[in-house]
Structure formats: C-alpha cells, structure tokens
C-alpha cells in the first residue's frame, strides 16, 4: 500500500499518511505534555504551584475543546475525500474506454471473465497498463474480499449480489492479489497474480487464448465451483455468454461453502472428516493449466 501503482492506490496512501499525520499532531504534544507535567509537579519540586481550590480556567477549556474540534474537521475532510473521490463505483477519469472484467470468488480460487474478449482465467489476472478497469464482482458461496494492495481499494463480495470496483495500473509489472477475508480451509492459498502489460500485448494475449484455452460453460463451471485448495492458474478460450449474470441471479446454484455439522460447527475443510450424519465435500480435479 505504501508503493502504489495506480491512481486509486495513490489516493489510499494519501489518506493513510494524512490520517497518521493528524494522529501524530495529537499524540506527540500529548506525550510531551504528559512528561512535562509529571516533571513539573513532581513531589520534590517545591516551586510548583499547589492549588486544591481550583475549579475553572477559560484557557484550559479553550485548549481542551479546540483540539478535538480541529481533529474532527481534519478527519471530516479525509472522510469526504475517501467517500467521494475514491468511491469504488466512481469511474476513473480517462480518455480510454474501461476494460470490463467479471470476477467470481470460488472456494478457494478466483475466476476472471473478460466478456468483451470472450475468454476467462483462474487465479491469473491480465490487464493493460494505463487503461481503467471496471470490475463486476460476486461470490459463488461465502462472503469474500478482493484486494490488490498496489492497485487500490479492497471490496467485499457476496453470493447473489454484485459489487463494482474501478482500478488502474499506471505501469507494467506483476502485482499480488489476494483474498483478505477468512473463508475456510483454503483461504491462505486464495491468491492470484496480476500482470499489467501494454495494450498491444494484452490484445495478443487475449487472442492467444481462443486457440489454446478450454471451454467454460454451465457444466464446466459446476465442476470448477467445487472446493479445491491451491488451484493452479488456468485459462478458457471460450466462455458461455451470460455466465456471470447466471451466478449473480443464482440461476447457477451456489457453491457448497462450509457445511454445518450436527453440532453447528462449520465444516470448512474439504480434508476434514465429517461428523456422524455428514458427508465430506467432494474433491474435484482442477482444469488444465494454461495461458
């Protein structure tokens, strides 16, 4: 987050540093005053003024109330900036048309669909540098979060709901993406690689998938949605139209998620042995790596 590679992440860093500065403006003088008062009014200081009848001081009241008032004003400005300028739904100002990407959080992997290109990937996200990206996100089962720290805001995704996010990579490079919300046994391996390439290279990459990737239709999605851990990157050269909308509308059934046991405890691990009366979630082979 302290090494941003896009306009949204740069704004996030600005909020972080400004918030730190506001807190230090309060904390540092408070600590200095604490030490100063402790030294000034120590028991051995005979010159310290002792006034047990003190009840009110206008100057002290002014200081006590002005500090939190200024703090609220500064934080209010930061909140305004964060709420409006960095709203995840707010498009990034650019002369280029945004790239549309649809994201589905699976157990425990990420599915990326490129509706304009007609291709899809698992656990790898390729975007053109310098071009805004409009994400539409949902989850196939439990609540999750989509986060690329060097590109910008973290956003939550839920089954049956659609979230939007706008990001942009200002320069080419590889970036780390992850799930930042615990969602079961495979959560720690629910990471993905983000490759920001030139627009020309992105066009060549998308075209190359048409000849070498698999087919992602409703049946293949059902197999992919089953729980699996540390899924390798994979690609699909053909994606069924309307697949993402079918996931959001739950036309395609949600993933199993952590099943509840007889005692009410979640069965979060596909490797765990179920209790009496429970069936272990089925394991499924991963799609062939490619792309």
| Phi and psi based region of residue 75 (left: phi greater than 0; alpha: psi -120 to 50; beta: remaining) | alpha
Residue 276: pLDDT above 50?
no
pLDDT at 198: 95
Mean pLDDT of 178-182: 88
What is the distance of C-alpha 244 from the center of its chain? 19
Question: Residue 288: pLDDT above 60?
Answer: no
Q: How confident is the model at residue 83 (pLDDT cuts 50, 70, 90)?
A: confident
Higher per-residue confidence, 126 vs 6: 126
pLDDT tens across 211-220, in order?
Answer: 777 899 989 9
- Please write the tens of the pLDDT for every residue from 113-145: 999 999 999 999 999 999 999 999 999 988 999
Sequence-distant (6+) residues with CB within 8 A of 95 are none
Arithmetic mean of pLDDT over the chain: 84
How far is the CA of 39 from the CAs of 45, 46, 93, 271, in angstroms?
Answer: 8, 12, 55, 61
Beta-sheet pairing, 109-114 with 119-122: antiparallel
Calpha distance 281→284 (Å, rounded): 10
For position 152, what pLDDT does the model report? Answer: 87
Q: Which domains does the chain have, with CATH numbers?
A: 7-44+56-86 (1.10.287), 99-249 (2.60.40.420)
């Amino acid at each position: 987050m302290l090494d941003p590679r896009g306009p949204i992440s740069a704004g996030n860093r600005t909020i972080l540093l400004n918030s730190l500065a506001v807190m230090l403006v309060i904390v540092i003088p408070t600590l200095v005053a604490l030490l100063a008062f402790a030294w000034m009014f120590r028991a051995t200081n005979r010159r310290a003024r002792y006034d047990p009848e003190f009840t009110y001081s206008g100057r002290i009241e002014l200081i006590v109330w002005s500090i939190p008032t200024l703090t609220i004003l500064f934080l209010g400005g930061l909140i305004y900036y964060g709420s409006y300028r960095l709203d995840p739904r707010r498009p990034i100002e650019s002369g280029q048309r945004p790239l549309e990407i649809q994201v589905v959080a699976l157990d425990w992997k990420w599915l990326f669909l490129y509706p304009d290109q007609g291709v899809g990937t698992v656990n790898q996200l390729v975007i053109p540098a310098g071009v805004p990206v409009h994400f539409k996100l949902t989850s196939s089962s439990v609540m999750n979060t989509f986060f690329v720290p060097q590109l910008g805001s973290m956003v939550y995704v839920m089954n049956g709901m659609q979230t939007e996010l706008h990001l942009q990579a200002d320069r080419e490079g590889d970036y780390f993406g992850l799930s930042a919300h615990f969602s079961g046994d495979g959560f720690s391996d629910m990471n993905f690689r983000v490759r920001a390439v030139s627009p020309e290279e992105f066009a060549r990459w998308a075209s190359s998938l048409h000849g070498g990737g698999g087919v992602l239709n409703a049946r293949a999605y059902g197999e992919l949605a089953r729980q699996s851990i540390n899924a390798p990157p994979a690609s699909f050269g053909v994606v069924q139209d309307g697949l993402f909308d079918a996931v959001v509308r739950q036309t395609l059934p949600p993933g199993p998620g952590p099943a509840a046991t007889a005692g009410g405890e979640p069965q979060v691990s596909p490797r765990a042995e179920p209790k009496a009366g429970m069936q272990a979630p089925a394991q499924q082979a991963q799609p062939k790596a490619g792309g």
